[in-house]
Structure 1
Amino acid sequence: MTTTDSLRSGPGPGPGPGADGRSASGRSTSGGHLPVREHLPAAAPSAVPVLDVVVPVYNEEKDLRPCVLRLHDHLSRTFPYAFRITVADNASTDATPAVAARLAAELRGVQYVRLEEKGRGRALRTVWSGSDAPVLAYMDVDLSTDLNALLPLVAPLISGHSDLAIGSRLARSARVVRGSKREFISRAYNFILRSSLAAGFSDAQCGFKAIRSEVAERLLPMVEDSGWFFDTELLVLAERAGLRIHEVPVDWIDDPDSTVHIVRTATEDLKGVWRVGRALAVGALPLDRLARPFGDDPRDRALTGVPRGLARQLVGFCVVGALSTLFYLALYSLFRLGVGPQLANGGALLVSAVANTAANRRLTFGVRGRSGAVRHQAQGLVVFAIGLALTSGSLAALGAASGSPSHSAELAVLITANLAATVLRFLLLRAWVFPARAHTHTHTHTHTQSNTPTCSEPEDLR
């Protein structure tokens, strides 16, 4: 476990409780529930900082001082809120601690945190977890990213529109100067993320990111990595939980003196991709704890006459059904090579029914985790039995009518019977196997003041 050995900060105010019942960090102090997103008002110079920018360093005695001076000057001139710069030293063995301590003593709003273990993720976890600022960010010490992108990066977080923000070197309008080797590695890595983890963000490893503190409070305990994969894991979990990620195209110039070991870093990243992908596949991550906990989500409003999630469920069911039908027909054709039509139909329908129930459970009805999975499969098999009766009866009727039907005729009858069973299958899955949870509000919750008094409690917050 990482420990903070020393904390030295320059002149600046300490945290204090807010007038609205919140702590100085802006986090709700009641019942452990997250606050509604609110626009942060302009802060006086003596207020708790709105933004805490972390600069993780390891043996950066040469670059640290010019980096912090340039960043501090930029924020002083352009950032309209109180800010803090935190130098997070990852067990440096050169003069980095002395340089950081001098900067903290000289500049208002600069602090220095010393860690006795290496790892960028470890540094960010330590500082972000202890920060009182409502918006947290980090950037690399080489300042490869143009600082003009900093305010656009954090503005959606300050306004409450987004939960995380990332700088992207791979966005269409980004301006990037770097070697072909690093360009290829970056694009290949992000291609792997898109193909294996279905990542929708464009640049996982750009050292220029920000997050709201209440989001970090929920996400950080779920992130296992303490090194370079920390960023990717954080973003994948946030995206899978439905949190809003804002991307900013950046101007970026490669640092030719970078000390990052490309091969070792790439190896660790691929191990992380495998670990996270496996956890997502088996439902081991409690992502439902993160789903829509931040404020007024229109999906949580009770609308009369509108079944909850019906349109999305229909789309998901149709997609899963189309894929299941193709899978079923392929299995039937395969089984038909060795057995009769009834046995081939039963075997194909049984295998595809198990896969169909699992897919609908997760993709159509949004049920995650292992709880109730066996019961859902058992109920799915009952639905399967109904489908089997319809399709088997259709095959029997075809055989009685034509004697020896062709394979194409069998497939046509099966397709027609499956279409007839599809409507009944959806109704049974929705009403019986995966019924919508009752949205009753029998628990009394204490909240701080909110601008959205009609908002219902998020169904997945528990």
Structure 2
Amino acid sequence: MRTDTPQTEPSLESLPARSPLALATPTTTAPPDRPVLDIVVPVHNEEGTLEPSLRRLHGYLSEHLPYGFRITVADNASTDRTPRIAAALAAELSGIVSVRLEQKGRGRSLHTVWRRSDAPVRAYLDVDLSTDLNALLPLVAPLISGHSDIAIGTRLAGGSRVVRGPKRELISRAYNLILRGSLSARFSDAQCGFKAIRGEVADRLLPLVEDTGWFFDTELLVLAERAGLRIHEVPVDWVDDPDSRVDLVRTALDDLRGVWRVGRALATGALPLSRLSRPFGDDPRDRLLGGVPNGLARQLLGFCVVGALSTLAYLALYSLLRLGLGPQYANAAALLLTALANTAANRRHTFRIRGRGRMVRHQAQGLLVFAIGLALTSGSLGALEAADAHPSHSTELAVLVVANLAATLLRFLLFRTWVFAGEEGRTPAAKDRPGGAGGPSAQDERQAGQGDDAGADSTERTTS
């Protein structure tokens, strides 16, 4: 039957604290109307593999999973007998449904089915069942308990047992090294076809994911990690499918294009990741404790990185300006230029404030902080000149480095307690957005509608 399930846009507020799922009475016979787990199996021309794999998966879940389940076969424009086999199995076995999409793309099928699912935990696995199903309970358990937001199988962690050729092994490890180097990814295996996600996280995260192909997994994980969501990794036993029809060269090129697109979006702050943030701690009592600095370690690390780059830029500018100006004028000009860039960089990257709201105020306050730093460095230069009328250039730089260290510590304290106090992660107000007051920006509208676009041109038919 044709599905016309209405979609509602998720709230723009950040996610609530994690909590264990309120589950119905466990069943091992037939899933309830609203299952706990919805497993999507994307397929394209899999008439030889589909039936034995589905029977094996259904039998395993019926015997070992203590919760209600649903298996959703997402057919991606198959031209062989795959749709008929899926419909026949759905009619025979309770808990199996089939969905037909008229366009190809693994990401498109996951995007479409996950967003329309009513299950509190949504997963997917490859139709060849390369991953040992004994890893399924460890995969979904941290999501059900409220410990994690996303769970992934990994073939590259200690404890995994993998059987595959050296070519695929090399490509997989090289790809993950690229992700670590370019997008600072910390998860170990982006492309293993064995993942699960909590429903409320999927509803909020999927509208931000653009890819409809093989890069879908990577984009989803990178955005989740950058938003501070917790990703749980499960070492798996995995046997390569010798009949795999994935075009490795084309997939690699598409992945590299995706890495560039996502990296650029993250660098420009185009993604509203604050919608995905979780409160500090999962225990409500954590948020009632007074005097506990939130995110101090992360802020300090970000500030140090920005400060180190600013100091290098300052010393370079000072050395350049010193060729034509006296030490005091060169110091003031170099410090002013780097102070403006330093405030803007700390505003965006250290304290994660987006939008133009209060930007001028923050820069004005930053200039006052700059004046304090100028007083410290100028006073240090004055003291040096009083002690030595003609100090060497290296001595001047050494004195300025020490003075700047003191000014940097004071700058961090003032930024945290005064300039950006209580504003970390603030998203632009409606009046600050390009769309004007009372409406979302064009960028937000495009991202919010991304999930709808992924399946808008597809005709879906569900058999249950």
Category of TM-score, reference length = shorter chain: 0.7 to 0.9
Contact 2:176/2:189 (<8 A) preserved: yes
| Residue number in structure 2 paired with 1:430 | 416
- Distance in structure 1 (CA, Å) of the matches to 2:220 and 2:285: 24
Aligned with residue 38 of structure 1, among 11, 20, 34: 20
- Distance in structure 2 (CA, Å) of the matches to 1:273 and 1:200: 15
- Distance in structure 2 (CA, Å) of the matches to 1:352 and 1:35: 39
Task: Specify whether residues 272 and 265 from structure 1 end up closer, same or farther in structure 2 by C-alpha distance, changes over 3 A only.
Answer: same
Contact 1:34/1:294 (<8 A) preserved: no
Give the AA of the match of 2:80: D
Q: Is 1:261 matched with 2:247? A: yes
- Distance in structure 2 (CA, Å) of the matches to 1:233 and 1:43: 34
CA RMSD after TM alignment: 2.8
Give the AA of the match of 1:383: V
Contact 2:15/2:278 (<8 A) preserved: no
Q: Give the structure, 1 or 2, with the largest relative contact order (CA under 8 Å, sep 6 or more).
A: 2
Task: Specify whether residues 433 and 118 from structure 1 end up closer, same or farther in structure 2 by C-alpha distance, changes over 3 A only.
Answer: same
| Residue number in structure 1 paired with 2:460 | none
| Residue number in structure 2 paired with 1:232 | 218
Task: Specify whether residues 32 and 110 from structure 1 end up closer, same or farther in structure 2 by C-alpha distance, changes over 3 A only.
Answer: farther
Q: CA deviation at 1:357?
A: 2.0
| Residue number in structure 2 paired with 1:187 | 173
Q: CA deviation at 1:183?
A: 1.2
Q: CA deviation at 1:60?
A: 1.0
Q: Deviations over 1:316-345 (max 9, x none)?
A: 434543443344334434544565433443
Q: Deviations over 1:157-179 (max 9, x none)?
A: 11111110000011122111111
Give the AA of the match of 2:51: R
| Residue number in structure 2 paired with 1:107 | 93
3-state secondary structure, aligned to 1:43: coil
Task: Specify whether residues 310 and 262 from structure 1 end up closer, same or farther in structure 2 by C-alpha distance, changes over 3 A only.
Answer: closer
Q: CA deviation at 1:394?
A: 2.4
- Distance in structure 1 (CA, Å) of the matches to 2:229 and 2:14: 19
| Residue number in structure 2 paired with 1:288 | 274
- Distance in structure 2 (CA, Å) of the matches to 1:32 and 1:399: 54
Task: Specify whether residues 291 and 297 from structure 1 end up closer, same or farther in structure 2 by C-alpha distance, changes over 3 A only.
Answer: farther
3-state secondary structure, aligned to 1:137: strand
Could you list the runs of 5+ residues in structure 2 that have no partner in the other structure?
Answer: 425-464
3-state secondary structure, aligned to 2:352: coil
| Residue number in structure 1 paired with 2:445 | none
- Distance in structure 1 (CA, Å) of the matches to 2:300 and 2:132: 45
Contact 2:156/2:188 (<8 A) preserved: yes
Task: Specify whether residues 112 and 302 from structure 1 end up closer, same or farther in structure 2 by C-alpha distance, changes over 3 A only.
Answer: same
Give the AA of the match of 1:166: I
Q: Deviations over 1:272-317 (max 9, x none)?
A: 1111111111111111111106983569613234344445544543
- Distance in structure 2 (CA, Å) of the matches to 1:421 and 1:406: 23
Aligned counterparts, 1:96-245, within 5 A: 96-245=82-231
Q: CA deviation at 1:263?
A: 1.1
Q: How many residues were matched structurally?
A: 414
- Distance in structure 2 (CA, Å) of the matches to 1:261 and 1:370: 44
Q: Is 1:349 matched with 2:335? A: yes
Could you list the runs of 5+ residues in structure 1 that have no partner in the other structure?
Answer: 8-14, 16-27, 439-462
Task: Specify whether residues 295 and 385 from structure 1 end up closer, same or farther in structure 2 by C-alpha distance, changes over 3 A only.
Answer: closer
Q: Which structure has the highest helix share of the two?
A: 2
Q: Deviations over 1:329-370 (max 9, x none)?
A: 344345445654334433432343234223322343232455
Contact 1:37/1:294 (<8 A) preserved: no
- Distance in structure 2 (CA, Å) of the matches to 1:190 and 1:143: 22
Task: Specify whether residues 184 and 337 from structure 1 end up closer, same or farther in structure 2 by C-alpha distance, changes over 3 A only.
Answer: farther
When the two structures are superposed, what TM-score results if normalisation uses the length of structure 1?
A: 0.82
| Residue number in structure 1 paired with 2:451 | none
Contact 2:14/2:278 (<8 A) preserved: no
Task: Specify whether residues 299 and 311 from structure 1 end up closer, same or farther in structure 2 by C-alpha distance, changes over 3 A only.
Answer: farther
- Distance in structure 1 (CA, Å) of the matches to 2:314 and 2:207: 41
- Structure 1, 129-138 or 311-320: larger mean CA deviation: 311-320
Contact 2:280/2:286 (<8 A) preserved: no
Contact 1:316/1:363 (<8 A) preserved: yes
- Structure 1, 167-176 or 340-349: larger mean CA deviation: 340-349
Aligned with residue 264 of structure 2, among 269, 275, 278: 278
3-state secondary structure, aligned to 1:216: helix
3-state secondary structure, aligned to 2:380: helix
Percent of residue pairs bearing the same amino acid type: 73
Q: Deviations over 1:348-395 (max 9, x none)?
A: 323432342233223432324554445433432332233223323322
3-state secondary structure, aligned to 2:187: coil
- Structure 1, 427-436 or 355-364: larger mean CA deviation: 355-364
